[in-house]
A and B are shown apart, each in its own frame.
Chain A
Amino acid sequence: MIEARELTKRYGDKTVVDNLSFTVKPGEVTGFLGPNGAGKSTTMRMIVGLDSPTKGSVTVAGRSYAKHAAPLHEIGTLLEAKSVHPGRSAFNHLMALAHTHGIPRRRVDEVIELAGLTSVAGKRVGAFSLGMGQRLGIATALLGDPAIVMLDEPVNGLDPEGVLWVRNLLRSLADEGRAVMLSSHLMSETALIADHLVIIGRGRLLADTTVDDFTQEAGGGGIRVATAEAMKLRSLLAGPDVTITSSSNEELLVSGRDAREIGAIAARNGIALHELTPQSVSLEAAFMDLTRDVVEYQSAPADTERKAA
């Protein structure tokens, strides 16, 4: 469990993280989103005590990170910036960190295998590709068998197989009861992995919600229906709160009714459908809308604004 309370960080007179409060709960994947420069990486550095907050506080499992006897066992972290000496091998890097906690060599081998680095474990990290470096970062995060796993843009630089691997890994970590926090700028990508969303812009909280709620709220993607009898179906579907547009004479875009309803109505009336597709809500567009608001409502408490919406 990570609890940030009115967390604030200023560099000079620039407020990078502004009065941020949120909670990362065990058993869930929490997506931490925001556009470039929103303050995600800064927040994560504060969580593990690398940067100290200007105001407010953040606790990991109830106390500040530095107070833990075995910090790597509380929270494992992949930071955005390179955090490895390129002259050391992956194994030696992990082993050096393992020594600080008395983590046995067996565990080091285990995370190397888990991250798929077995064949390159003895190679200098400086020679690693971006993706291999990322895998080493994830191995490092898992080294202490942590209750919380916090990853800053973990899929950055990974190939599709790697992305899938991370997705499954994070899911299974959360299913084991761990808290997982990952940052990203990509809403659509995050929505696939996360349960919960914490969205920030310019250091402020914009939304603290579930993926389902966000998707629903974003909504309005509508359902695409293709049929030879588009005109007939259109009149059957019409109703209050239902809007229907069509881009061609065999296609409708329906919002206000779900796919099940539309299918049932079509079946009752003997209309054959070629296609019935919920338009994947444009999460990205909704996300951009939300973060654009930061600028517009700069002086208003953005989180309450959004929850009301």
Chain B
Amino acid sequence: MPTTALRRTQRPGKDDNLSTAPDPHTSATRYKVTGIRVLRSEWAKFWSLRSSWITLGVAVFLLVLFGAIASFTYSADATAGGGPAPGGGSGDSDAVSLALTGVTFASLAVGVLGVLLAAGEYGTGMIRSTLAAVPRRLPVLWSKAAVIGPIVLVLTVIGALAAFQLGTPGLDGEKIALSLGDDGVLRSLAGAGVYLSLVAVFGVALGMLIRSSAGAIAVLVGTLLILPGLASLLPDSLYDTMNPYFPSNAGSAVYALNQSSDALSPGAGIAVFAGWVALTLAGAAYRLRKSDA
């Protein structure tokens, strides 16, 4: 048996306490948990699961596919005649909103990605290994958010650009056609990426808070899709004031090219949606710190 392969790190003793008994265990100078290392670990964890690749791929695929299809099937008449225009076919569709038709679907995919990254650890028991390695716990939550946010940001911005570019030939000759250089186009496309990356972080927070993938996904869908609809049951005056502040409505303000009159500005939209995410993260942090793993 190769037990001799075990190696004791020899290091100068740290905190020599008053005990006179020689401690065979000398303290670590090389091994040490740091924020960067936890980040590195979460990065490795993210990419070493097939489900991450698949969910991320699905998100980008939906984003590009729906955007391109919406642009190609757009016809100006359909908007007037109320025909079956994909992408909602509202009267105020523009080239950017068509290209971003897939954002709703992609938001569910990246939200699920976040949930799986967090709640998946509870479902499988991995969290016990994770927290045994990082018993201070909070760095794990921050690192998960810090890993998934930028990854989703980069890929979905690329996806949004691709959707727009692929859709451009489809709008050739239409009145609403735009090019990348036009006012606000890049801002909107990048805004979609920012929104989606925040949704992914939202998913992480929900997953850590609820600790069950199914539960967290249900809440995710509820908040992003069902909440605004439910709220329409509220008295009109209340609904009109609250509506722009719902997570998904605040989020859609971030990537809309033309703000509808009752919506928030893109900046305010980011702030409000980020506020929702921060609130959920705070709840997740509280639960992570306070309750047994």
Binding site for B on A (CB under 8 A): 1, 26-27, 45, 48-52, 61-62, 65-66, 68-74, 77, 79, 81-89, 92-93, 95-97, 99-103, 107, 110, 113-114, 140, 142, 144-145, 147-148, 165, 168-169, 172-173, 176-178
Contact = CB atoms under 8 A, between A and B. Distances in A.
Contacts of B8: 145, 176
Contacts of A73: 9, 28, 31
Contacts of A101: 31-33, 37, 133
A81 B6 contact: no
A128 B131 CA distance: 23
Interface residues of B, number: 46
Interface string B24-36: 1100101111100
A97 B124 contact: no
18 contacts: A26-B25, A51-B292, A68-B135, A69-B28, A83-B125, A83-B128, A85-B121, A85-B124, A85-B126, A99-B41, A100-B133, A110-B5, A110-B7, A145-B9, A147-B25, A168-B3, A176-B24, A177-B24
Nearest to B140: A100
A302 B33 CA distance: 41
Contacts of B293: 45, 50-51
Interface string B108-139: 00000000000011001111111111111100
Nearest to A140: B129
B129 A92 contact: no
A107 B293 CA distance: 27
Contacts of B44: 92, 95-96, 99
B120 A85 contact: yes
A50 B30 CA distance: 25
Contacts of A102: 30-32, 34, 37
Interface in B128-176: 128-137
Given A50-B132, A92-B44, A145 B292 contact: no
Contacts of B125: 81-84
| Of A65, A83, A165, A169, most B-chain CB atoms within 10 Å | A83
B200 interface: no
Contacts of A144: 31
Interface stretch (B45-53, B99-107, B242-250): B45-53
